[in-house]
Structure 1
Amino acid sequence: MADVLAAQGVGVDYPTPAGTVTAIDGVTVTVPDEGVTLFAGPSGSGKSTLLRVLALVERPTRGVVQLGGEAVSGRSHRRLRALRRQTIALMFQNPLENLLPELTAAQNVIAAAQSAGREADLDLLGVVGLDGMGDYRVPALSGGQQQRLALCCALAREPKVVLADEPTSQLDDTSAGLVLETLKVLVDRGVPVAVASHDDRLIKLADRVVRMDSGRVDSGRVA
């Protein structure tokens, strides 16, 4: 098993009027190229910041991010955008941030595939439990359906890895369960998934749990 993503000694600082705030510091983690990796921890532990760094959305203040064993965090913004588009699918906590609300479900899948230079496969809607809903516009879908559509769009892009930030935090148990089933579909199709969440429902799904606290990996709590 190889690593699709890795962070080595990564730290992120934010300037504030009161001084510098360190969101994460000295974090070294890997995301294997199979299964589900869960970054768990309370709010403010730094797990979402780490996910954005791994997704090449946020440049670390220090340390190195590797994609497929190659250091990439020091590359230009333009090159990082190209790498994200080609290899990484990032899901935000609010599903509407992942979708185009003015389009139908099917049109969202097509747009996602085209953004990565892929050919759209609308049969994927059935794979994530949205069969027959291709003509529904995004606002007509429930929160759980929107998250599953976002996962469908991620699958349509054929990424090397999917990163999801709190994908179940705004959902009831039934909707969250359906989203977890959809995450399993991604893994079954050979797409590794990394999730940042404080939702204990995700622990049963995870193949590996990395616990974070106060911006650091909680030593001895990687399982």
Structure 2
Amino acid sequence: MARILIVGATSAIAAATARLYAARGDRLYLLGRSEDKLRALATDLGESVAGHAAGDFTEANANPDRIRAGFEALGGVDIALVAHGALGDQLESEADYAEAYRQFDSNMLSAVSILIPVANALEAQGSGTIAVMSSVAAERGRPRNYTYAAAKAGLNTYLEGIRSRLWSSGVRVCILKLGPVDTPMTVDHEKDASFSSKEDVAKSIVRVVDVGKAVAYVPARWRPIMAVV
């Protein structure tokens, strides 16, 4: 039985992943933005949930206490899954610094405020895995989403540094580079064959985290695609 802390648990992909973990008997602590959605998810997952708490992760000063509560409720953490972020409006970010900042805050800066206490706690524990949902968009600056992509690229580089720092402590870091997924976050996007279902993505996440991959394209078909585009 693994002890799993999920940040951003009410996102479609994270919730699907949480259901897989619960089904195999793991113990979960859920963090998310919506109390109502968290309560509904916790009820759905039943006795596998050790606790949950809602809050705005862009309120960075509150994140260390949120993470600490999760570690205490679980008695330590084996997997910390971070599924926090938002697409934002690219055109608005080109005209308005405030929107550009919001995208960097939601996709990188607030994630850093979560990762600092997670990394330090796992380092002190001497074991564990940090798995973070990023995006294949981070590998290229494209006109349609380069603000979001730049924020995710910064997050990936930060995670590479954490991995190097914590390797000797027995802590592993998995960067999950997700392709497009059919979720509420992409509801306004025209869907094509490049989109995956949240259920398939969740299965891939569980698998690659279990085997300890440092970087995983999810689904795996995105590795050769990104090598040539």
Q: Which has the higher strand share?
A: 1
* TM superposition score normalised by structure 1: 0.32
* TM superposition score normalised by structure 2: 0.31
> Which of the pair has the greater relative contact order for Cα pairs under 8 Å at 6+ separation?
1
